[in-house]
Amino acid sequence: MDVLLLSADLATSSTVSGAAARCGVSCETAWSVGDILEKAKALAPRLVVLDLSTPGVDAAVIVPQLRDLAAAPRRIVAFGPHVHETRLAAAREAGCDEVVSRGRFHADLDEILTSSTRDL
């Protein structure tokens, strides 16, 4: 599995899924915080994308749990509205590999998906 997205937003899921298809990478969406770890364990994604606008998302809790998985993701990218400076900073502090504003995420989506899932 290439990409696992955590987002409760249907438009975001559709956008990321469409970009993944365009880039030739597989993508699955976890719709809730409770769903992300189970799907990550089962699917062993290379990239996990966290939508910080998803209700209940606490990067300080989720990121360490993802990193502790037997097949931990290669990269964790988080994004959220630029006005949510505290959430973005908390995601950086929690150890996300990349933290960007929602606008930057959408502008760079293809590059984020392909560079994070390319075989090293």
pTM > 0.85: yes or no: yes
R_g over Cα of the chain: 13
Locate 43 and state its tokens.
């699917």
Distance CA 86, CA 66 (A): 21
Q: What is the structure's pLDDT at 1? A: 85
pLDDT digit string (tens) for 64-99?
999 999 899 999 999 999 988 999 999 999 999 999
Q: What is the structure's pLDDT at 119? A: 58
Q: What is the structure's pLDDT at 76? A: 97
Contact (Cβ atoms closer than 8 angstroms) between residue 59 and residue 91: yes
Q: What is the structure's pLDDT at 120? A: 42
Contact (Cβ atoms closer than 8 angstroms) between residue 57 and residue 84: no
Distance CA 92, CA 81 (A): 14
The class (CATH top level) of 3-116 is alpha beta
pLDDT digit string (tens) for 17-68?
999 999 999 999 999 988 999 999 999 999 999 999 999 999 999 999 999 9
Q: Provide mean pLDDT across the span 9-20.
A: 97
